Amino acid sequence: MVIGAVLGHFFPELAVELKPLGDAFIKLVKMVIGPVIFLTVAGGIAGMSSLSRLGSTTGKALLYFFVVSSFALVIGLVVANVVEPGRGMDVDPATLDSASVSGYVGKAEEQTIVDFLLSIIPDTFAGALTSGQILPVLFIAIIFGVSVASLGESRNRIQTALHDVSESFFKMVSILMKLAPIGAFGAFAFTIGKYGIDSIANLAALIVTFYVTSALFIALVLGAIAKASGFSLWRLLVYLKAEIWLVIGTSSSEAALPALMRKLEEAGCAKPVVGLVVPTGYSFNLDGTNIYMTLAALFIAQATGIELSLHDELLLLLVAVISSKGAAGVTGAGFITLAATLAVVPTVPVAGMALILGIDRFMSECRAVTNFIGNAVATIVVARWEGALDRGALGKALMAR
């Protein structure tokens, strides 16, 4: 990442040409995400002694996601009102280049709740594994796992086969992770070469506010949740440091998803819990994206001189609660979700997103890291609630770092 940043700053044209290195690495990881999720979830459910725990785990995970991610939205709203990073910019909305964000708005308009729910059901069984989407894979994995669990003598054979194939895919992940430095180098060089350090300076107030707010959310909110659940957040971050750097380097939390699932299993979280909570969290528990959404929306309003009433801010919060739940943990998803939110709240001009388009890549890194850490904490907490956490293994894993 350091070499990539230096190259991007001094040789931007060459650095931009290195973008395929980062893209190729992310594609390699995404290639195995579907099979890893399917095998982990299906194998875990197949081995459950009681399928009633499936509903219990899912219910508790969704409750946790709703409460914590909604709290993140509120924090972004409060910080924006207190710090007011956009105040004094006095930008005329009519002068903004709305065409630059039209593509994001178009994608956002396609994201209706009905379409989102229907997209969870794949056209074919194999199609779920090739679509690149997480929720369809989770859907077929749950159904397949339940089907295997209801079988007789053949259940154990299928469960063993799922476990063996799963180990093969995790071995493949470990091989691919050796290419992570090359992927991070290419992605980071492209980011600095394409957007430059100057783009950070132009909107430094917003970037600093977002990074500090996210850091405080991780330290105070997630730290308090971790402490209440009997483990140290700091030691967890040290345990996951390689994956965190990978997320920063690639601006994608998906790049570290398979490695996160394996490490959480090694840290004592039961396989069914890891298989259900982590993939679901990647769509429903995006704390960093939520902080960004309300903070960025109010920044745009402040920068364009629009005064939002309490009613406007509550409407923004309500819409964001709904629109944020369908986001995916991939680069740029937060920007599309913000567009979907502003499209429903007419007080804030969607064209104002052009103000922050140039720095979205830098914001994406912070969003991805916060999302990643939030899902790691959520998985351990839900495992503890379900009595599916080996505290000895957790302590050993965290203390070993």
State residue 195's pLDDT score: 74
Cβ-based neighbours of 352, under 8 Å, separated by 6 or more: 91, 93, 96, 300, 301, 303, 304, 342
* pLDDT score of 301 more than 80: yes
| Contact indicator for 295, 210 with CB cutoff of 8 Å | yes
Q: Phi/psi at 269 (nearest 5 deg)?
A: -80, 130
CA distance 273 to 229: 16
Residue 78's domain comprises 2-399
Q: What is the CATH number of the domain that holds 174?
A: 1.10.3860.10
- Percent of the chain scoring above 70 in pLDDT: 89
pLDDT for residue 329: 43
The winner for highest mean pLDDT among 102-111, 153-162, 184-193, 224-233 is 224-233
Helical segments of 19-153, H only:
19-46, 52-83, 102-109, 113-119, 125-130, 134-149
* Tokens 């006095």 sit on residue: 90
* pLDDT surpassing 50 at residue 178: yes
* Tally of structural domains, the chain: 1
CB-based contact 16:193 (threshold 8 Å) = yes
pTM over 0.95: no
Of 143-152, 222-231, 364-373, the poorest mean pLDDT is in 143-152
Greater pLDDT, 333 or 367: 367
Check whether 238 has a pLDDT greater than 90. Answer: yes
Tokens of 19: 């973008």
Residue 99 predicted with pLDDT over 70: no
Please state whether 348 falls in left (phi above 0), alpha (psi between -120 and 50) or beta. Answer: beta
pLDDT band at 58 (very low <50, low <70, confident <90, very high): confident
Q: Which of 22-31, 94-103, 286-295, 384-393 has the lowest mean pLDDT?
A: 94-103
Indicate the residue type of 186. G
| CA–CA distance, 270 with 45 (Å, rounded to integer) | 11
CB neighbour list of residue 289: distance below 8 Å, 6 or more residues apart: 324, 327, 333, 334, 337, 367, 371
- Long-range pairs of 312-320 with CB within 8 A, sequence gap ≥ 24: 312/345, 312/347, 313/77, 313/81, 315/345, 316/77, 316/341, 316/345, 316/348, 317/73, 317/74, 317/77, 319/344, 319/345, 320/73, 320/290, 320/293, 320/294
Query: In which band, very low, low, confident or very high, does the pLDDT at 103 lie, cut at 50, 70 and 90?
Result: low
User: Residue 109's pLDDT is what?
Assistant: 53
pLDDT at 151: 83
Taking only the tens place, the pLDDT of each residue in 198-219 is 666 667 888 899 999 999 999 9
The pLDDT tens digits of the residues spanning 66-97 come to: 999 999 999 999 999 998 888 877 777 777 66
Task: Enumerate residues 6+ apart whose C-beta is below 8 A from 95.
Answer: none
> 52: closest CA among 380, 386, 392, 348?
386
Q: Where is average pLDDT lowest: 24-33, 107-116, 172-181, 379-388?
A: 107-116
| CA dihedral (299, 360, 317, 289) positive or negative | negative
Environment class of 94 (CB within 10 Å of its CB; exposed 0-12, middle 13-18, buried 19+): exposed
Collapsing DSSP states into helix, strand and coil, what is residue 38?
Answer: helix
d(CA 376, CA 381): 9
